[in-house]
Amino acid sequence: MRTLAIFLLLISLSSSFICPTAQRTIYVAAVTGESSGGLFQLEVKIRPGSGLVYTGVIPRTGYTTQESELAAVQYAFASAGADLKSCDVFFTLKGNFGQNTVDGPSAGAAMAIATKAALTNKTIRQDVAVTGTILPSGRIGEVGGVIEKAIASAESNIRYLVVPKLKVYEAFLISSISQKYNFAALEVETIQQAEEIVFSDYSQNFSFRFAPQSKPLPAILPERLHDADTARFSLVAKKVVDRLEASVLYANVKDPALAKYFSDEISKYRKLLSLGYPFSAANSAFLLSVDVEYAKLSDRQLDINGSFESVQECINFLDAPQKTMQNLHWAAASDLRKIWAQKKLNETAAMRNGYGGYVILRDLLFAHNWCSVSSELAGQAKEIGGEPINESILADLASKKLAQANMLFSSSSRSDADALWHYEAGLLANKSGLYTAAIYEAAYAISMQESALAQPEEIEEEIQKMLQENRTSLWGKVYFGQALYLYFDAKDKNLSLQDAYRVMRYSVELDDAAQQIQNELQKVQQEQPVVQKRLPPQQKEESLFVIAFYLGSLGAVSAVAVLRVLGVRI
């Protein structure tokens, strides 16, 4: 027995992990601005220690990046069968950062690969860059700015960019970049797949990888019943999905995998409509319609001049509805999409010479889609009608909200690019006398900027609080539904709750803004009472049944609920 015990002890001692002293570097592609990317070098050093993870103070590193560093280290040590308690790990980012703070999770995959390379004595190819988040399971999560990162990598003589699952339009854009540079994007789903590329010999070549696949809906997604507001918005959402389906049929996609992807996605959007998530369906259909347009380009040349003209004609053709007490929020939403379309068109024209045609087309497609949605929302506002109001009543409130957003930007160490873009749109709306639209854009800027500064450990608790609250305004309810979908989807796929949190905060801000608007309008109404115009009973009932008819595709339960809320006997 004594001999056996000594033998086991010797085996234990011989197999115990000894932390190496090692260093590895890997290239990381990043977004450096709203429409620009950069390439940076990540250095990882490992030495004997006590399980601590360090990050450099230059550049300044945000909390989300630090969280990614820890997750990457934990995954790398576990997958290498190493003991983190025996080592210390140091991360340093090298590049021209200026005064910018580095933040975000998109370097997580690169951190994990470099750490594992140092632990296992692997060599990292220096003609490869990586972008993607790291999940505990070893899967690589999606990131934004893939096109900007691809352009930056290609211009820096990087041969391959390892990316998470691509969207269709991203694949087409990257394909066009590859025609100009000796460059290819390689789509991967796991760290292991990425390692096969990053650790390969320089003599090994890879081809462009892209395999579109529809993601399933969350396993648990509660059904939401419609009220009068969301029922009407569902009509708009259904039209967006219908238009997408017609566009797919017209595209006559030859690639079986791509055709199946489009079909599966459209089926998913219709399911979202039936479950009571109209914004989620419409927003996804909006984005996929851009992909479909790229699929149509396979056999014909780009007509950028014609696309510019088409967008401008669409914008010029828009007919703004008369704003009333009853339709104000619909009309303001129409105003916003028109402003977005014109702003995007102007920005695209300004940067036209610096980007390829495929990149320009994407922005033009966004502008055109916003114009189309603006028209749909305006149609709903005209149908609602009501007693006209003077929107200038809201001028002071709009100025105050925009000033609040501006102060928030000024007091923050960094500005959220999306929040800033919408703040600028709010200024344009305010200058044009579209005060309700300006208030909504200020609300968006405030909620997005504040959300960007939230700490990850606070997000779950804050979401749980907001889940207990009821939304009362049209757009508060619509966006709350989108926040719910993002929340359950993130939970189902073990993803970050950041997007769900941002949209949920926005839904709260929308309710507050709507209440402030109502208060201002009521002040004037009390001074000058307005007699509300009402539809004759028969016409009102016919209109309600039109809504119910369109909602038939959303399920009988939802349609019945709408009629009950609106007081129609069934």
Residue 246 burial class via C-beta count within 10 angstroms: exposed 0-12, middle 13-18, buried 19 and up: exposed
- 74's CB contacts (< 8 A; 6+ apart) are 84, 136
pLDDT over 50 (residue 530): no
Confidence at residue 168, expressed as pLDDT on a 0 to 100 scale? 81
pLDDT over 60 (residue 538): no
CA dihedral (108, 113, 114, 118) in degrees, to 10, reads: 140
The string of DSSP codes covering 68-110 is: HHHHHHHHHHHHHT--GGGEEEEEEEES--TTPPB--STTHHH
pLDDT in tens, 352-397: 765 566 678 888 999 999 999 999 999 999 999 999 999 999 999 9
pLDDT over 50 (residue 481): yes
Are the CB atoms for 159 and 58 separated by under 8 Å? no
DSSP 162: E
pLDDT over 90 (residue 339): yes
Q: What is the mean pLDDT of residues 552-564?
A: 40
Confidence at residue 552, expressed as pLDDT on a 0 to 100 scale? 47
pLDDT over 70 (residue 543): no
Confidence at residue 479, expressed as pLDDT on a 0 to 100 scale? 97
Classify 511 as helix, strand or coil. helix
Counting residues of the chain whose pLDDT is more than 90, the rounded percentage is 62
38-70 burial: b if 16+ Cβ within 10 Å, else e: bbbebebbbeebeeebebeeebbbbebbbbbbe
Does 65 or 243 have the greater pLDDT score?
Answer: 243
pLDDT in tens, 290-301: 888 888 775 456
Q: Rounded to whole angstroms, how far apart are CA atoms 429 and 344?
A: 14
Q: What is the mean pLDDT of residues 531-553?
A: 44
Angstrom CA distances, 346 to 308, 349, 360, 363, 426, stand at 10, 5, 12, 10, 16
- Of 372-386, 430-444, 453-467, the range with the lowest mean pLDDT is 453-467
Q: What is the mean pLDDT of residues 200-222?
A: 88
334 closest CA partner among 377, 282, 369: 377
Does 485 or 537 have the greater pLDDT score?
Answer: 485
Asked if the bond preceding 537 is cis, omega within 30° of 0, the reply is no
Q: Rounded to whole angstroms, how far apart are CA atoms 434 and 342?
A: 14
359 closest CA partner among 94, 152, 101: 152
Query: Quick one: which H or E segment has residue 160?
Result: strand 160-163
What distance lies between CA 122 and its chain's CA centroid? 35
Question: Tokens 């009988």 sit at which residue?
Answer: 556
Confidence at residue 356, expressed as pLDDT on a 0 to 100 scale? 61
Each domain of the chain, given as residue ranges in start order, spans 19-198, 283-535
Widest pairwise Cα distance in the chain: 101
Q: Rounded to whole angstroms, how far apart are CA atoms 284 and 214?
A: 12
Are the CB atoms for 28 and 40 separated by under 8 Å? yes
**Region of residue 286 (phi > 0: left; psi between -120 and 50: alpha; otherwise: beta):** alpha
Angstrom CA distances, 47 to 87, 108, 109, 493, stand at 6, 20, 21, 34
pLDDT over 50 (residue 102): yes
Confidence at residue 253, expressed as pLDDT on a 0 to 100 scale? 82
312 closest CA partner among 349, 352, 356, 359: 349
pLDDT over 60 (residue 21): yes
Are the CB atoms for 447 and 509 separated by under 8 Å? yes
Are the CB atoms for 146 and 166 separated by under 8 Å? yes
Q: Long-range contacts for 384-387 (Cβ within 8 Å, ≥24 apart)?
A: 384/324, 384/326, 384/327, 384/330, 385/324, 385/326, 385/327, 385/533, 386/324, 386/325, 386/326, 386/327, 386/532, 386/533, 387/324, 387/325, 387/326, 387/530, 387/531, 387/532, 387/533
Q: Rounded to whole angstroms, how far apart are CA atoms 153 and 186?
A: 13
- Strands (DSSP E) found in 288-353: none
* Opening angle at CA 46, ends 92 and 61, nearest 5: 25
Is the four-CA dihedral 522, 523, 524, 530 of positive or negative sign? positive
Altogether, the residues listed in the chain come to a count of: 570
Assigned fold of 19-198: Ribosomal Protein S5; domain 2 (3.30.230)
Confidence at residue 494, expressed as pLDDT on a 0 to 100 scale? 82
- 473's CB contacts (< 8 A; 6+ apart) are 329, 510, 511, 513, 514, 515
Q: Rounded to whole angstroms, how far apart are CA atoms 284 and 276?
A: 14
pLDDT over 50 (residue 10): no
Q: What is the mean pLDDT of residues 102-106?
A: 81
pLDDT over 60 (residue 325): yes
Average pLDDT of the chain is: 86
Confidence at residue 199, expressed as pLDDT on a 0 to 100 scale? 96
Does 292 or 278 have the greater pLDDT score?
Answer: 278
Confidence at residue 19, expressed as pLDDT on a 0 to 100 scale? 95
Tokens linked to 130: 């990586």
pLDDT in tens, 173-207: 788 788 889 999 999 999 999 999 999 999 999 98
Q: What is the mean pLDDT of residues 436-455?
A: 93
